[in-house]
Amino acid sequence: MPAPNPSVVLTVGEIARRLGVPVHRVEYVIRTRDIHPSVLAGNLRVFTEADLDHIGTELRRTSPGGRAGVPSNPTPEHNSPQPHRLLIGGQEAAAMLSISPRSLWSRMKAGDIPHTRIGSRVLYSVESLTRWVEDRSKGGAL
């Protein structure tokens, strides 16, 4: 299976955002259902759209009433990324990469993660972060 080339990287944080559930619930399903990422980039795990569907199905199946806070017919906002923005803040960038804001800050200070300063704000290009993940991806599929 070739490495995914999404406009938005499907990390655990992005999957949780799309499904409208807490990250720990997504982590639980991934761990207990033995779902493997399609790409590894250091500690970053990238999943496919099929994995997103599988995780959503498992969350609905295992919750009382079959809902789990996950729409059975996701609305378009759950299926498509937010309108394209050039730059995002640290909280969004950390969630996109499924790392803590503190780890993002440390890696940014070390010069490992691409960033832009506008005045006193540190911002991150979605395109640069996506390219950064792809450049660090090891071998594609597991």
Q: In this structure, is residue 5 part of a structural domain?
A: no
pLDDT grade, residue 109 (50/70/90)?
very high
In 3D space, the residue among 72, 41, 18 whose CA is nearest the CA of residue 26 turns out to be: 18
Residue-level pLDDT at 106: 93
Q: In this structure, is residue 1 part of a structural domain?
A: no
Q: In this structure, is residue 6 part of a structural domain?
A: no
pLDDT digits (tens, 9 = 90+) for 41-83: 777 888 888 999 999 998 888 776 555 555 544 444 444 445 5
Model-level pTM? Answer: 0.46
Count structural domains, the chain: 1
**Token duo for residue 114:** 């691409």
pLDDT grade, residue 3 (50/70/90)?
low
Q: In this structure, is residue 75 part of a structural domain?
A: yes
Domain span at 77: 12-136
Q: In this structure, is residue 61 part of a structural domain?
A: yes
Q: What is the mean pLDDT of residues 2-12?
A: 65
Q: In this structure, is residue 3 part of a structural domain?
A: no
Statement: residue 98 has pLDDT above 50: yes
Q: In this structure, is residue 2 part of a structural domain?
A: no
Ranges 34-48, 87-101, 115-129: which has the least confidence: 34-48
Residue-level pLDDT at 69: 52
Q: In this structure, is residue 141 part of a structural domain?
A: no
* Ordered strands of the 87-88 beta sheet: 87-88, 121-125, 116-118
Q: How many CA atoms lie within 13 A of 92 on its CB side?
A: 14
Residue-level pLDDT at 81: 44
Count of residues in the chain: 142
Residue-level pLDDT at 84: 65
